[in-house]
Amino acid sequence: MGSAISNEAEAGRQDVLDSVIGHEYGFRVHRIEPNSPGQAAGLQSVLDYIVVANGVRLDHDDGNFVRMIAENKGKPMRLCVFDTHTLRTRETILTPNDDWGGSGLLGITIRFDVAQDLSKHTLHVLDVFDDSPASAAGLDAYNDYILGVGDLLYDGPDEFGEIVMHNENRTVRLYVYSVRTESVRDVMITPTRTWGGDGYLGSSQSQ
C-alpha cells in the first residue's frame, strides 16, 4: 500500500516536471530585501516563479507586469506562485508600496525565465571545514543546499566551481535552502585560496 502511494506520488511529480519544467514561463524571484513587500508576501528566492498576477498570465516579458505593479501601488495584488521545490502553486497577496524603507515598490529582484529543474542547479553542502570561508559564512553541513550565486543559476558542480574561481577574493551572494528551516536565506561568502586549506570555499558539495 505504502509503496503504491509512493509510486503514484512520484509519477505525479514526474508529470508536473514533464509538463511545466522547460515549458512554462514566469518571473523568477531572486533577491528579496528584508522588511519588503516581497518578504511580507512570503516569496522565496530562486524557488519561486510568479506566474499569474490579478488573474493575468505572465507568460511574456512585455512590460505588463511592471505596469501592473505601478498601477496597483498601495493595493493588494493576488499572485499565483509556482514553487520549483514542491512543484505546486500557491496564492499570496503582494501589496506594492514605496514606504517600506527600501527602494522599489516590491523590494525584490525578478527575472523573466522558463521554469527550470531545481536539481540541475542544486548542490548539497557536505563537509564544512573549520576556519574556512564556508564556516565563516555559516553554511550548515548536510543541512544546506546551494541554489544559486547572485543572479546566476549554474548547471552542475563544474559550472559552480568556475563561478567561484572567477570571484576569488570577492564577496558573492549565495542563495541557500535549509532543510532545518525549510526556507531560503542569503549567504555572503568570499572565495579565497589563502584560508589555510584546500579549495576556495572550504566545503565539499555534491549534486
User: Rounded to whole angstroms, what are the CA distances from 48 to 25, 183, 197?
Assistant: 12, 11, 36
Q: Are residues 123 and 176 in the same domain?
A: yes
With cut-offs at 50, 70 and 90, classify the pLDDT of residue 185: very high
CB 69, CB 106: distance < 8 Å: yes
Which of 82, 77, 73 has its CA nearest to residue 94?
77
Mean pLDDT along residues 158-183: 95
Kindly report the average pLDDT of the chain as a whole number: 89
Q: Are residues 131 and 103 in the same domain?
A: no
Q: Are residues 188 and 130 in the same domain?
A: yes
Q: Are residues 87 and 127 in the same domain?
A: no
pLDDT at 17: 56
Q: Are residues 13 and 86 in the same domain?
A: yes
Q: Is 124 annotated as a binding residue?
A: no
Q: Which of 88, 116, 144 is the last residue of a domain?
A: 116
The domain that contains 188 carries what CATH number?
Answer: 2.30.42.10
SS3 content of the chain, % helix, strand, coil (to 5): 25, 35, 45
Mean pLDDT along residues 113-138: 92
Is residue 124's pLDDT more than 60? yes
pLDDT at 18: 60
Q: Are residues 140 and 107 in the same domain?
A: no
CB 81, CB 53: distance < 8 Å: no
Q: Which of 95, 116, 137 is the last residue of a domain?
A: 116
Mean pLDDT along residues 53-72: 95
Q: Are residues 21 and 108 in the same domain?
A: yes
pLDDT at 22: 63
Structural domains of the chain, count: 2
pLDDT at 116: 82
With cut-offs at 50, 70 and 90, classify the pLDDT of residue 154: confident
pLDDT digits (tens, 9 = 90+) for 1-52: 334 334 544 555 566 556 666 668 899 999 999 999 999 999 999 999 999 9
Q: Are residues 106 and 135 in the same domain?
A: no
Question: Domain residues for 140?
Answer: 119-206
Q: H helices within the chain, ranges in order?
A: 2-20, 37-40, 64-71, 133-137, 157-166
pLDDT at 11: 53
Q: Is 194 helix (H, G, I), strand (E, B) or coil?
A: coil
Q: Which of 76, 91, 116 is the last residue of a domain?
A: 116
Q: Are residues 29 and 112 in the same domain?
A: yes
pLDDT at 3: 40
Q: Cell digits for 186?
A: 542569503
Q: Are residues 110 and 8 in the same domain?
A: yes
Q: Are residues 160 and 149 in the same domain?
A: yes
